[in-house]
Amino acid sequence: MYWGVQVGVAAVTGGKGGTGKSTIAINMAVAIANSRDVVLADLDVEAPNDHILLGIDLKDKEAVKIMIPFIDYSKCVKCGACAEVCDSGAILMPKGKYPYILPRLCSGCRACYFTCRAKAISEGYRVVGYTYRTEVNLGSTSITLVTGMLREGEEHVIHTVLAAKERAIREYRDVLIIDTAAGSGNNVTAAIEDSDIILAVTEPTPLGLHDLTLILELASRLGIEALIVINKVGIGPKDKIVDVAKKYRAKVIAEVPYSKDVVSSYINGVPLVRAAPNHPIALTFRKLGNYLSEVL
Amino acid sequence: MIEIAVASGKGGVGKSTIATSLAIILAKSGWKVILADADAEAPNAHLILGIDSWDEVRDYSEGYVAEIDYTKCNTCGACAKSCAFKAVKLVNGRYVINKFTCEGCLTCSLVCPKQAIQRIKASAGKLRIVRETRWGFPLVSALLSLGRPNSGKLVTEIKEIARSLARSDTIIILDSAAGIGCQVIASLAGASAAILVAEPTPASFSDLRRIHSVAKHFGIPSALVINKYDLNPEYVKVIVEYAVTENIDILGTVPYDDHVPKSLSYMKPLIEVFPEASASKAITDLAKRFEEKILRNWAEWRRKFTPTKAAPYVPIIIKPNER
């Protein structure tokens, strides 16, 4: 496997935004921290929130760099091959002039570098995001949080997802819990691929159902077993979610009722399993964590 | 033509509910409206409107995926080494292209000493159009090829379609994706203004600041809607304070209301099934204010709320041979 980790990886995803992915990921991570050595990877690099829900400041920042072409005008023959090969439209070729690079559009793929016969392109770098590594102190134990954060204004997201995932895997010792972004594109694929299990967090609305279906289909095409958590139970009927779960042979392993207590723990930056360990929903989170801990 | 991008950074804060309601209310009061669902990875606007069929579905095939000819491949691994997207991996002694994460950039083909890699056209996704919804306005929407790149290109494409359908007096409402990456940048690029939606939580506030800094890169004015404000009235103050400091127009607040998810399960717009619900009333007021304050007063509003200090995107570049 590319990522080089054979066991112990669970990815929390779901398609729709705001279904509770991060809440569930951090609570499970904290819940099993006593018995397992947990790395939590926040790969929602566009809107990373795990550190906020854990009430901590991020530490140990590293830049995510991607290649950007620099043209050596003494060698460039103005052939335009670089502009032609560039899929991102990041190289302009004004007639009779030297190529002009638009940094924001450049995806760092290096096709121009390999295409240029005059060897007129050298490799510079652009910082598109950052990764962080923060030890989260939980009293008697701790977890390691690795966070990816896209730089504001950058549109190429995937590199920061990959860099944060790599860093999390470098830290990996026993269990890795991955928290993904909303959506169903390559940023989510890269985050969840090669995990042992996918935890799809959804809500009982047609929107939740629609996006859950996309995720279950993606999981099935990637050959990864998916489990379903229905969050905010009570805000709408869940029968269609149960149907789609059956269709994809994905087990519904937990149902979490909608509760303002979850919202307040969310606001206070203390995971519910710590803020109110005996709250019924905290117990559900703990059970979920234990379930995962047994599978991984 | 005025293009309004509804965005939030964080997911699930109510973008689609606000965007669809706004489109309906504006259309009802006589504006020419086009609704564009600018989230190709989790398109949901049609579900809120109860739309289950499209007048037109087009394939958008502006994408490629690499393919290895194993009769030529000598398993040297140059492709895997060169791939900036880590989409080539060694599986059982053979290099395999991940057809989901491959961006089709041609780099692996160029480095392959055996010329064993070709790239073939791959569908980036689908473009979908309803020419006239029940409320008279068109809906354009996209659906990304599952798990694949290029959602930003799809958003740019549906914006092009929306613009081609628009007249000079049309209001285009863009229901943006969560996040601040390619889809959202595609949505904000060229927009006339942004409506930023936030809920009073630290997570949403953090994402609000990120999306707002991107809106500022484009130099566009922003208005703010605080949704579910009663979940945490104390924190509303923090967000309001930020908006005031940053010269974001505060359009209004919407309370938490379980009629919102209920209306979703009916697949009918909230403001029509539960017109008396507190959220409906708040959203209707909000739309009226949007109309009066912003649309009818566009030039002045824009002048007032366009960021005065230029805050363009500046890339961090490291030159060759620099550290």
Q: Give CA separation, A126 vs A209, B65, B101, B219, in Å.
A: 39, 25, 21, 23
- Given strand B125-130, what is the order of strands in its sheet? B56-60, B125-130, B139-144, B32-38, B170-176, B2-7, B193-198, B222-227, B249-254
CB nearest B178 (choices: A17, A260, A266):
A17
Q: What is the pLDDT of residue A178?
A: 98
The CATH number for A232's domain is: 3.40.50.300
Residue A156 and residue A66: Cα distance in Å, rounded? 10
Listed in sequence order, the residues at least 6 apart from A90 whose beta carbon sits closer than 8 Å to its beta carbon are: A101, A102, A103, A104, A105, A106, A107
- Same domain membership, residue A238 and residue A178: yes
- Same domain membership, residue A167 and residue A21: yes
CB nearest A205 (choices: B98, B100, B261):
B261
B20-50 pLDDT, tens digit per residue, is: 999 999 999 999 999 999 999 999 999 999 9
- Same domain membership, residue A86 and residue A179: no
- Same domain membership, residue A251 and residue A192: yes
- Same domain membership, residue A252 and residue A173: yes
Compare all CA atoms of chain B with the CA of A68 and give the residue at the minimum distance. Answer: B317
Q: Is the pLDDT of residue A7 over 70?
A: no
Distance from CA of B62 to the nearest CA of A (A): 10
Q: Is the pLDDT of residue A20 over 70?
A: yes
Query: Is A3 within the bounds of a domain?
Result: no
- Please measure the distance between the N-terminal and C-terminal CA atoms of chain A and give it in whole angstroms: 17
Answer positive or negative: Cα dihedral of B151, B153, B154, B160.
positive
B11·A46 Cβ contact <8 A: no
State the CATH class of domain B63-122. Answer: alpha beta
pLDDT band at B54 (very low <50, low <70, confident <90, very high): very high
Give which of B203, B130, B36 is closest to A182, Cα–Cα.
Answer: B203
Query: Is A224 within the bounds of a domain?
Result: yes
Query: Is A53 within the bounds of a domain?
Result: yes
Q: Give CA separation, A253 vs A8, A35, A95, A199, A211, in Å.
A: 18, 21, 61, 9, 18
DSSP A27: H
- Same domain membership, residue A163 and residue A84: no
The complex scores an ipTM of 0.97
pTM, rounded to two decimals: 0.97
Mean pLDDT of A74-95: 96
A28-38 pLDDT, tens digit per residue, is: 999 999 999 99
- Same domain membership, residue A83 and residue A56: no
Q: Is the pLDDT of residue B310 over 80?
A: no
Residue with tokens 């007021």: B285
Query: Is A39 within the bounds of a domain?
Result: yes
B192-226 pLDDT, tens digit per residue, is: 999 999 999 999 999 999 999 999 999 999 999 99
Last residue of a domain, one of A101, A119, A137: A119
**Mean pLDDT over each residue of chain B, to the nearest integer:** 96
CA atoms within 13 A on the CB side of A76: 21
- Same domain membership, residue A213 and residue A79: no
Give the least confident one: B65-69, B84-88, B308-312: B308-312
Mean pLDDT of A70-95: 96
Q: What is the pLDDT of residue A264?
A: 83
Q: For residue A93, how many other CB atoms are within 10 A of its CB?
A: 17
Q: What is the pLDDT of residue A2?
A: 46
The CATH number for A111's domain is: 3.30.70.20
**Count of structural domains within chain A:** 2
Residue A207 belongs to domain spanning = 9-63+128-295
A129-186 pLDDT, tens digit per residue, is: 999 999 999 999 999 999 999 999 999 999 999 999 999 999 999 999 999 999 999 9
pLDDT band at A260 (very low <50, low <70, confident <90, very high): confident
Compare all CA atoms of chain B with the CA of A18 and give the residue at the minimum distance. Answer: B12
Mean pLDDT of A183-199: 96
Query: Is A80 within the bounds of a domain?
Result: yes
A91 phi and psi, to 5 degrees?
-120, 120
Q: How many CB pairs under 8 A join A and B?
A: 247
Q: Is the pLDDT of residue A94 over 80?
A: yes
CATH code for the domain defined by B2-60+125-305: 3.40.50.300
Q: Give CA separation, A261 vs A187, A256, B281, in Å.
A: 31, 12, 26
DSSP B193: E
Beta bridge mates, B34: B172
Tokens of A131: 């990764």
A85·B106 Cβ contact <8 A: yes
B144-198 pLDDT, tens digit per residue, is: 999 999 999 999 999 999 999 999 999 999 999 999 999 999 999 999 999 999 9
A200-215 pLDDT, tens digit per residue, is: 999 999 999 999 999 9
H or E element in which residue A74 lies:
none
CB nearest A210 (choices: B47, B186, B207):
B47
Give the least confident one: A191-200, A254-263, B134-143, B197-206: A254-263
Using a CB-CB cut-off of 8 Å, the residues of chain B touching A263 are: 201, 231-232
Tokens of B177: 């994706």
Query: Helix, strand or coil for residue A279?
Result: coil
- Same domain membership, residue A186 and residue A260: yes
Q: Is the pLDDT of residue A5 over 80?
A: no
Give which of A185, A293, A270, A179 is closest to B42, Cα–Cα.
Answer: A185
A207·B262 Cβ contact <8 A: no
Query: Is A23 within the bounds of a domain?
Result: yes
Pair A176, A8: CB distance under 8 Å: yes
Q: For residue A96, how many other CB atoms are within 10 A of its CB?
A: 6
A149 phi and psi, to 5 degrees?
-135, 115
Give which of B117, B93, B87, B97 is closest to A114, Cα–Cα.
Answer: B117
Query: Helix, strand or coil for residue A181?
Result: coil
Q: What is the pLDDT of residue A3?
A: 56
CB nearest A184 (choices: B42, B103, B217):
B42
Q: Is the pLDDT of residue B283 over 60?
A: yes
Q: What is the pLDDT of residue A66?
A: 98
Query: Is A103 within the bounds of a domain?
Result: yes
Where do the domains of chain B lie?
2-60+125-305, 63-122
Residue B111 and residue A265: Cα distance in Å, rounded? 52
Q: Is the pLDDT of residue B99 over 80?
A: yes
Interface probe, candidates B60, B123, B264, chain A, greatest A C-beta count within 10 A: B264
B42·A111 Cβ contact <8 A: no
Mean pLDDT of A252-259: 94
Beta bridge mates, A151: none
Compare all CA atoms of chain A with the CA of B16 and give the residue at the minimum distance. Answer: A207
A111·B106 Cβ contact <8 A: yes
- Same domain membership, residue A96 and residue A234: no
A47·B207 Cβ contact <8 A: yes
